[in-house]
Amino acid sequence: MTRESETITDVAPWVAVTGREILRLGHSGRVIGKIIPDILRAIVETSQLELVPKAALYLNAAATEKAKLAGFHNSHWSQLDTALDFCDEFHAIPDNAAALTRILVPVAGPGIDPMGTLVFHVSTSGDYAHRAHLVTLAADVATVVRAKLRQEEIHTAASGTMIVPIDSQDGSLVLSENVFELLRTTIDSFPGGVCVLGSDLTVVMTNQRLYEILELPEALFRPGCNFADVLRFYARRGEYGPGDVEELAQQRIRHAELFIDHAFDRETASGLVLEVRTTPMAGGGAVVTYLDVTARKNAERELMRHRDRLEDLVSQRTAEIERQSRKLEHMLDHERHVNEQQRQFVAMASHEFRTPLAIIDGAAQRLIRNKARITPEFVGNKVEQIRGSVSRMVDLMESILAVGRLDHGVIDFRPEPFAIGDLIRLCVANQTRVTPDCRFRLDVDNLPETINADRSGLQQVFTNLFSNAVKYAPKSPEIFVRGWCDGGQIHVSVKDQGVGIDADDLPKMFQRYFRARTSTGIAGTGIGLNLVQQIVELHNGTISVESEKDQGTIFTVTLPHDVQDPASSDTSNIEAA
């Protein structure tokens, strides 16, 4: 395709490149409505022109002084005028609403009357520097438009000969009747509704399915009516939602008058989903088709619901698997921890049992070896050693059994009234029999005469605390036990002057099997303090420890005066620390 006017020689190279692209698009076999957006894009994307990247083309109508919108680029149809006044010269008009300058360029060239108007925008005010270049490119657009209109006229004329009746002298068939009947059969066979529109929105042809699918009264909207009346009928029926009927209809009438290739889905008031498609015709007007895609859309929605349900199910199953995996990992960690604790316990328990058994065995051997010269004092000494070792083993077994009962939630917790001062004195007397060299300094007269608590459990608490005080203070045999009341609670402290505890070890003292670094070389299992803490907490009480290395240790037990029920914690779920 070449220009139909004289050759323009004084053209910038970049303008020539854009012009050649416009002419190349004109060679396309597509109708003019299809190539207009590409032509406009080629112009606005020429950076030297400094244009805002949107544009429109209006072509002059034959029977009016208006130019009708023929195509646009990078805009929405609702933002454009349907028609413009005839323009025969270059104009630059400020667009205050958009803070832009609107440029109107007539689609014309040397020897070619204006055929339409190009509309561009620039972001600067004042004189536009590239006016001459736009006029040159408009001439190339005019060349393409004129050539395309000629092709459409030729095509229309050629098509017209096929339906004009032929008066044959030799008796041949009249083709127009056969072609029209074939066209009618084809349209009626289309599964959706068909509506052929003229350039003025006149309904030229329809099929029966159109009235069925749109639920239109056939008597009111036969061919020859205006499509705008159909849109107003739909607006009155509420198909476009609430609002002013004429305003709702006019929005769609303006869109229909553009005759642009367009497709969308619309759900009717009756629940049908229609696929609406507008296909422009070369000679003006358009073919509008309506397909009932309700079943397909319902299937797609159901598929989406199934997909969402499947995703939810997968998410739930994945979360459950992860939860089970975490639970299993936790159980495995706990099992490893328990196994390690059991290994440590067996090692310590075997050592703890071995020591008193060795004492018992040694005392028995001494009795055997000296049976000929046994004195009452000798027998009494050895019997005390045996009883002390047996008592130590019994206490160890009681601690082990109590820990087991706590772990399985079967501890026998029986609150009853008793004299706590007498219980403390009994525990002191028992400890003195085992270790006669220790001296207990008691100050428990300020304790209440009776409290309500589990006597057996508290006996284990004080027995363990007194035993530890003696064991970890071998060179300082004095143990101080003090009791007092404060705010409805009773407090009992046990103080020794022994090896003490490192500051780093204090937070771990009540962990099962834990033994402080200062206990090296001193017999013990590491379960006593853990048992003490659990029994105290069953009484809704607390136990605390204060200590410094080589300065001794103070354990303080705080208990309510009256314990009715054990603490609400689930003792069956207590895990080894």
Span 261-289, pLDDT tens digits: 888 898 888 888 999 999 998 778 899 99
The residue written with tokens 């957006």 in the block is: 37
Lowest mean pLDDT, pick from 5-14, 185-194, 243-252: 5-14
pLDDT of residue 569: 41
pLDDT of residue 14: 94
The helix (run of H) or strand (run of E) holding residue 216 is none
Could you give the residue range(s) of every CATH 3.30.450.20 domain in the chain?
A: 192-292
- The amino acid present at 507, given as its one-letter code, is P
pLDDT of residue 411: 63
What residues form DSSP beta bridges with 71?
57
Could you give the residue range(s) of every CATH 3.30.450.40 domain in the chain?
A: 13-161
Confidence of residue 52 (pLDDT cuts 50, 70, 90): very high
Does residue 568 surpass a pLDDT of 60?
A: no
**How far apart, in whole angstroms, are the C-alpha atoms of residue 366 and residue 389?**
15
- C-beta neighbour count of 298 within 10 angstroms: 12
The whole model's pTM is what?
A: 0.38
pLDDT of residue 171: 38
If one compares 467 and 423, the residue with the highest pLDDT of the two is 423
Residue 522, both tokens: 């001193």
Lowest mean pLDDT, pick from 1-10, 215-224, 359-368, 552-561: 1-10
- C-beta neighbour count of 412 within 10 angstroms: 9
Does residue 88 surpass a pLDDT of 50?
A: yes
Pair type for strands 273-280 and 91-95 = unpaired
**How far apart, in whole angstroms, are the C-alpha atoms of residue 56 and residue 59?**
10
The helix (run of H) or strand (run of E) holding residue 278 is strand 273-280
Question: Got the DSSP string for 35-61?
Answer: HHHHHHHHHHT-GGG---S-EEEEEE-
pLDDT of residue 19: 92
Does residue 140 surpass a pLDDT of 70?
A: yes
**How far apart, in whole angstroms, are the C-alpha atoms of residue 74 and residue 505?**
75
Provide mean pLDDT across the span 111-115: 82
Does residue 172 surpass a pLDDT of 60?
A: no
Could you give the residue range(s) of every CATH 3.30.565.10 domain in the chain?
A: 409-573
Q: Please tell me which of 197-201, 341-345, 490-494 the model is most confident about, judged by mean pLDDT.
A: 490-494
Helices 455-471 + 376-407 axis angle, to 10:
120
Helices 13-26 + 131-161 axis angle, to 10:
10
Lowest mean pLDDT, pick from 47-56, 96-105, 241-250, 450-459: 96-105
If one compares 323 and 433, the residue with the highest pLDDT of the two is 323
pLDDT of residue 543: 94
Three-class SS of residue 75? Answer: coil
Does residue 9 surpass a pLDDT of 80?
A: no
Residue 406, both tokens: 């706590």
Question: Could you tell me which CATH number the domain at 409-573 has?
Answer: 3.30.565.10
Provide mean pLDDT across the span 337-351: 68
Three-class SS of residue 53? Answer: coil
pLDDT of residue 232: 92
Q: Cα(first)–Cα(last) distance of the chain, in Å? A: 91
Does residue 257 surpass a pLDDT of 70?
A: yes
- C-beta neighbour count of 68 within 10 angstroms: 20
Confidence of residue 435 (pLDDT cuts 50, 70, 90): confident
The backbone torsions φ and ψ at residue 481, rounded to the nearest 5 degrees and listed phi first, read -120, 125
- Please report how many Cα atoms fall inside a 13 Å half-sphere around the Cα of residue 134, on the Cβ side: 27
Are 401 and 525 contacting, i.e. CB atoms less than 8 angstroms apart?
A: no
**How far apart, in whole angstroms, are the C-alpha atoms of residue 454 and residue 461?**
11
If one compares 488 and 404, the residue with the highest pLDDT of the two is 488
Three-class SS of residue 221? Answer: coil
- Homologous superfamily of domain range 13-161: GAF domain (3.30.450.40)
pLDDT of residue 157: 56
Question: Could you tell me which CATH number the domain at 192-292 has?
Answer: 3.30.450.20
Q: Is 419 exposed, middle or buried (0-12, 13-18, 19+ CB in 10 A)?
A: middle
